Amino acid sequence: DQQCAQPNSTHVTLQLSIGGQVQRLVASVDGIAVTTVKAPLVGEPYAEGWHLDQVLDYPTDLGVHSGDFSAVTMDQAVDFICSKLELGAPVSVYAYSDGTKPSSAHQIHRNDKYPDGAIVANPTSASPTYLLFRYSDQVF
């Protein structure tokens, strides 16, 4: 679906309402592997907003390594994300922005140079579900 603002053919664009404004976050869906893990939120409890001080590392914080992921097609990756999220429900996103687009964040996947990124469904529940992503050539 390319109807959202600033569509990207190799990413899913999440448009989140934060403080009455729309924030654009993009997750790569091309050439990736995915997994989920149930774990408490890393850092502070859930609160609406963009929290730049929250740092995520898959192995250290969640005990997840490259062998825990399954390779998926682009369509499967889109379905993976869409099937885990409910429109209008709270969601947490760990993401990085390089500052070139301050209203947008990328890097919602395993990163070597930056904190890891993730989408968290049900962040206010007793068992939040992390949606994790890595590129097919990443080993950790």
Please state, rounded to an integer, the average pLDDT across all residues of the chain. Answer: 88
Q: What pLDDT is recorded for position 107?
A: 86
Residues 19-32: tens digit of each pLDDT = 888 888 888 899 99
How would you write the chain as a 3-class SS string? Answer: CCCCCCCCCCEEEEEEEECCEEEEEEEECCCEEEEEEECCCCCCCCCCCCCCCCCCCHHHHHCCCHHHCEECCHHHHHHHHHHHCCCCCCEEEECECCCCCCCEEECCCCCCCCCCCEEEECCCCCCCEEEEEEECCCCC
pTM of the model: 0.89
- Read off φ and ψ for residue 59, nearest 5 degrees: -65, -45
CB atoms within 10 A of CB 121: 20
Q: What pLDDT is recorded for position 106?
A: 77
**CB-based contact 43:50 (threshold 8 Å):** no
Residue 5 has pLDDT above 70, yes or no: no
The token pair at 66 is: 């490259």
CA angle 75, 123, 21 (to 5 degrees): 80
Residues 57-89: tens digit of each pLDDT = 999 999 999 999 999 999 999 999 999 999 889
Could you give the CA distance from residue 93 to residue 96 in angstroms, rounded to a whole number? 10
What mean pLDDT do residues 43-55 have? Answer: 81
Residue 99 has pLDDT above 80, yes or no: no
Portion of the chain with pLDDT greater than 70, in percent: 89
Residues 6+ apart with CB under 8 A from 4: 13, 15
Q: What pLDDT is recorded for position 33?
A: 98
